[in-house]
Structure formats: C-alpha cells, structure tokens
C-alpha cells in the first residue's frame, strides 16, 4: 500500500513525458506540458528575454508568468520549474514573485557559476497614498538551490504605463548580474536603462539611449571578457536597430546596425569566439553579425509572406546558431525553426503544425550536448494556457558526438528498486581512448536537493556498481519517497529514478 501511495505522490509532483531526438522531423506530441497560465505571453512578449537556462550540471530551469490581471486567475505570479533529467520529469511550480500583484510578467532568467539562479520581472505596485492607482517597476530575486530570496525592487522608476519594463539579464565572470530594461519617460518616450549589482548593492538606473525617441525592446549579451553588448529598437522612420557596448567603464555611443526594416525587435548573442550575432524583425526575420567591428548586411532568413515575429536565438559550443520565431499560418500562429552551421542556413521547419496558437517561443541557453531546449506558450484562445517544453536535436555533427558518448556511458538497472534497506547502482563505461573516466555519482530528492555524493573518482572501463543505503551525507536515514541517481562523466550524464519505501 505504501508503494502505491508514493507512486501516486510522484505522479502528482512530476509531469511525465518522453522527448524526441529525431533530426529530420519534430512532432507536437513530443512536447511536455510543464506549467499553466492565463496569459498568452507567459514566457515574454518580445524575443530578447531568456526564460530557460541550463546550469553546469545539465539541469534545466524555466520561469514563466501565470497571468496579467486576470480576474479568473488564482494569482498573477512568476513561477519556476526545473528538470534534472534532460526534460523528462519536471518539478511542480514554485512561486518566485510571491505577491498578490495584478501584474507580474516578462521574466528573465540566468544562472551563475555556483548554479545560483537570478530572475528579474516587471511587477505592478499599488500606490499606498492613492490605493486606486499604482505603477510598474522591475523586481529581482535569486535562488541558492534551497530558497528564492525576498523580491526586491531594483528600478524604482515608478512607470505609470503598463507598457515597458521589458528586460534582459546576464551574469558576469564574478557572478554579478547586469540588467537592461525600457521605461516610458515623462514625455511619453521610452528610454533604455542599465543597472548592475556589485556584490553588495544595486547601482542607480543609468539612461543609455537618452534621446527624444522611443527606444524599446532591449536585449543584452556578454562576452568572455565581460564586455556587455546591447541592441534595441528605436521607433523613428524605418525603426532602426541600435547597438552599444559597455567595457566596464562607459557605454559606447549608440550606432545604427540596420535602418531599412520596419518593426524591428532584436535579439543578440555572442559565440565562443566572441563574435556577435543579432536577429530582428517584425514581418520577416533578419540576421546580421559583427566581426572585428564590421557589421554584415542583414539577410532575410524567414522568407515568408504571412508574418514572422518574436525571434529568439541561441548557439552551441561549435558556434552553430539556432533561431525560433512565431509565424502566422492562416488564423493561427506556429513556431518556426532554422539552424545556421557557419556556412549556410537550413530550410525553415514548422515545429508545431497544430490548430491552436503557439507563440512566445524561447530557446534555452546555453545549448548543451543533450539537445536544444525550447519553451513556448500554447493556445491563447482559451482561458487556461499551456507552458510547453520541447527538446530539439542538434545538427548532425553534434548528434553523432552525443550518441557516441552515450553508447559508452550508461546507468544500468538498479537493484532492488523499489528498495527499503539498500540498492546497488550499476553503471557501464566502455571503449574510450584513455580507458579512464572521471566519474561522479550523486543522489537527489524530488526538490532537486543533493542528498549524498556516492562517488567522485577516476574509474577504468567496464561495469561497476556502488551501493546506496538510503542515508544522506550526514548518515541520517532518508525519508520514503522518490529519488534520482545521477551519473556524470565529463559533460555527459545519465539519470535513473529510485523509490525508497521504508518498512
């Protein structure tokens, strides 16, 4: 009876699904529902924010909004979910914003070298002097692996407009966050502001654009030397895409990198060589790159007549680029996908091909050898929307590398499982050039907290086993429930599920 109860508990906490690794086709039924929302732009209205991040253990972290002032929503909050086994199982939602605000939307997420998460979002704040009125500010919280910190107002500019406060967030080599966001000024124009954290305090907002035009939809990236690179759209004739960089001392004079395309909303990323890649567009999606200070002529990579919006970009360690956007097909929107291998762009692929709206697509970062993470909002035509996760395959070269490694590193069947006293965790490593592996085996509970490290040493090729006696790192007996054992070999890993049932 206890075994059945714990299995039921597991099914309640986790959403179970399988993802496809096929290269040539992607199917809607390979997607996983990881959350619910009442807001069609739950993962962000524009392409510049990140909502999906992988840490250095390979865990996937996602944030999204549950609504925007919906009177039929339970709350309007920023929620967080995670997966420790490559998108197969997902945690239940955790409330990051923890407020009764009528508006907590447009989240941005990043992770530092200690695997601590950093999140910013736009939030409505009631004016205590005039209860019927309020304003919008940018809020911040971080996660240390145990708890999210108390949300902090880091902008304090008190915008009265419900537009604006679109943000973009990066982390530097000292694990300090940097944020850009747009805010309407008193004249009705928007400006781009920058703030950062020095390990002790947040800086005062600095106006980067500071002109008499609407400057909005900022997107930020950072290179290996901690130089910040920023793009945004200016709303004047042709709506040019602007660029500026910050060397730690001052921001460079903004320059136009494209001025011939209407409705441009940009997204930027740097690759392993610190080359800059930018995509933008509203109607068509365009790509440009900067190397040695020279920007290439924008190339149309969508080439459609139906309408392409909200583009988002990511890259892998081989500097292959991955781009998604929402495309209007008949009366619905689908998620479109294209890849650049450094020489040419692949043909555009429709990832969803369904009869509901699929919008606000966001790629994970960084792209790992285990696949490309994609998150989007599905079917805004109904009151309750789905937050969808799908893992996409890498280009062929990377797939072969991954499959070759996975065929040589594998967790075998754990026996017994379920168990009450102990279980033997078997694993296999075969056929490598060195014949020696750096192996780490850890056990985690269902909240993602580390229970115990069972092994951290070099192991020869062959089949091995390590025993877990159901205790934590302090020797205390673990409670009954579901656990995960994780085998890590280099940047590749395998995960198995364990069920501890005490007699």
Report pLDDT for 35.
Answer: 93
Do 312 and 360 meet the contact criterion of CB atoms below 8 Å apart? Answer: no
- Which pairing describes strands 104-111 and 94-95: parallel, antiparallel, or unpaired? unpaired
Report pLDDT for 73.
Answer: 53
- Could you tell me if residue 263 is left (phi over 0), alpha (psi between -120 and 50 degrees) or otherwise beta? left
The residue among 410, 458, 422 whose CA lies nearest residue 437 is 458
| Structure tokens belonging to residue 242 | 């602007």
The low-confidence residues of the chain, meaning pLDDT below 70, are: 1-30, 69-75, 128-132, 186-188, 262-263, 305, 355, 380-382, 395-408, 431-436, 447, 491, 503
CB atoms within 10 A of CB 199: 7
- CA dist list (Å): 316 to 59, 81, 370, 391, 474: 16, 23, 11, 14, 39
Sign of CA dihedral 365, 369, 370, 374: positive
Q: Fill in the DSSP letter of residue 20.
A: -
Q: Fill in the DSSP letter of residue 103.
A: B
Question: Cα(480)–Cα(181) distance, rounded to whole angstroms?
Answer: 46
Report pLDDT for 205.
Answer: 95
344 exposed, middle or buried (CB, 10 Å; 0-12, 13-18, 19+)?
exposed
CB atoms within 10 A of CB 210: 12
Q: What is the pLDDT of residues 230-281, one digit of tens each?
A: 999 987 777 889 999 999 999 999 999 987 776 678 999 999 999 999 999 8
Q: How far is CA 211 from the centre of its chain?
A: 32
Report pLDDT for 468.
Answer: 94
The residue among 317, 434, 420 whose CA lies nearest residue 365 is 317
| Structure tokens belonging to residue 129 | 């002097």
Angle at 14 between CA 13 and CA 16, to 5 degrees: 155
- Which pairing describes strands 228-235 and 241-246: parallel, antiparallel, or unpaired? antiparallel
Report pLDDT for 243.
Answer: 96
3-state SS, residue 2: helix
Question: Cα(274)–Cα(278) distance, rounded to whole angstroms?
Answer: 13
Question: Cα(434)–Cα(235) distance, rounded to whole angstroms?
Answer: 58
Residue with tokens 């005039």: 130
Q: What is the pLDDT of residues 340-394, one digit of tens each?
A: 988 889 888 888 877 688 899 999 988 887 788 999 998 866 678 899 999 887 7
CB atoms within 10 A of CB 146: 8
The residue among 260, 233, 230, 234 whose CA lies nearest residue 244 is 230
| Structure tokens belonging to residue 312 | 């988002």
CB atoms within 10 A of CB 319: 15
Helix (H) and strand (E) counts in the chain: 2, 38
Do 365 and 314 meet the contact criterion of CB atoms below 8 Å apart? Answer: yes
Question: Cα(204)–Cα(193) distance, rounded to whole angstroms?
Answer: 10
Which residue segments constitute the domains of the chain, with CATH numbers given? 32-396 (2.120.10.10), 407-500 (2.60.40.1930)
Report pLDDT for 225.
Answer: 95
Question: Cα(75)–Cα(238) distance, rounded to whole angstroms?
Answer: 39
Angle at 75 between CA 385 and CA 197, to 5 degrees: 100
Do 189 and 213 meet the contact criterion of CB atoms below 8 Å apart? Answer: yes
CB atoms within 10 A of CB 116: 16
């Amino acid at each position: 009876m206890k075994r059945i109860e714990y299995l039921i508990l597991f099914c309640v906490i986790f959403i179970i699904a399988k993802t496809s690794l096929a290269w040539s086709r992607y199917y809607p039924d390979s997607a996983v529902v990881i959350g619910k929302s009442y807001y069609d732009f739950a993962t962000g209205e524009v392409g510049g924010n990140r909502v999906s991040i992988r840490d250095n253990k390979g865990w996937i972290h996602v944030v999204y909004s549950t609504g925007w002032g919906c009177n039929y929503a339970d709350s309007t909050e920023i929620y967080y979910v995670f997966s420790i086994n490559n998108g197969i199982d997902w945690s239940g939602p955790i409330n990051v914003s923890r407020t009764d605000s009528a508006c907590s939307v447009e989240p941005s997420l990043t992770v530092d070298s200690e695997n601590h998460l950093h999140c910013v979002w736009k939030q409505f704040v009631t004016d205590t002097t005039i209860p019927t009125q309020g304003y919008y500010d940018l809020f911040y919280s971080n996660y240390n692996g145990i708890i999210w910190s108390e949300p902090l107002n880091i902008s304090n500019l008190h915008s009265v407009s419900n537009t604006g406060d679109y943000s973009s967030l990066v982390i530097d080599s000292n694990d300090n966050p940097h944020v850009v966001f747009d805010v309407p000024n008193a004249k009705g124009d928007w400006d781009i502001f920058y703030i950062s954290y020095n390990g002790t305090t947040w800086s005062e907002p600095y106006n980067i654009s500071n002109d008499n035009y609407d400057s909005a939809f900022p997107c930020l990236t950072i290179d290996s030397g901690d130089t910040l690179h920023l793009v945004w759209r200016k709303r004047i004739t042709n709506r040019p895409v602007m660029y500026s960089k910050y060397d730690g001392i001052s921001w460079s004079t903004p320059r136009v990198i494209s001025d011939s395309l209407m409705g441009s909303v940009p997204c930027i990323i740097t690759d392993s060589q610190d080359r800059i890649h930018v995509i933008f567009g509203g109607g068509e999606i365009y790509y440009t790159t900067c190397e040695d200070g020279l920007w290439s002529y924008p190339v149309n990579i969508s080439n459609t007549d139906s309408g392409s919006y909200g583009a988002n970009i990511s890259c892998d360690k081989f500097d292959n680029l991955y781009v998604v956007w929402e495309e209007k097909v008949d009366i619905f929107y689908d998620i479109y996908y294209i890849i650049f291998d450094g020489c040419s762009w692949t043909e555009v692929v429709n990832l969803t091909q369904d009869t509901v709206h699929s919008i606000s697509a966001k790629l994970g970062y960084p792209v790992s050898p285990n696949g490309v993470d994609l998150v989007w909002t599905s079917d805004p035509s109904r009151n309750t929307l789905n937050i969808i996760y799908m893992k996409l395959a890498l280009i062929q070269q990377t797939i072969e590398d991954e499959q070759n490694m996975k065929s040589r590193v594998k967790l075998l069947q754990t026996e017994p499982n379920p168990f009450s006293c102990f279980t033997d965790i078997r694993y296999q490593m075969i056929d490598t050039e060195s014949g020696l592996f750096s192996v780490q085996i850890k056990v985690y509970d269902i909240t993602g907290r580390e229970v115990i490290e069972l092994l951290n040493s070099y192991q020869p090729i062959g089949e091995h086993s390590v025993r877990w006696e159901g205790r934590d790192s302090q020797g205390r007996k673990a409670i009954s429930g579901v656990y995960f054992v994780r085998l890590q070999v280099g940047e590749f890993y395998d995960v198995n599920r364990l069920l501890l049932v005490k007699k």
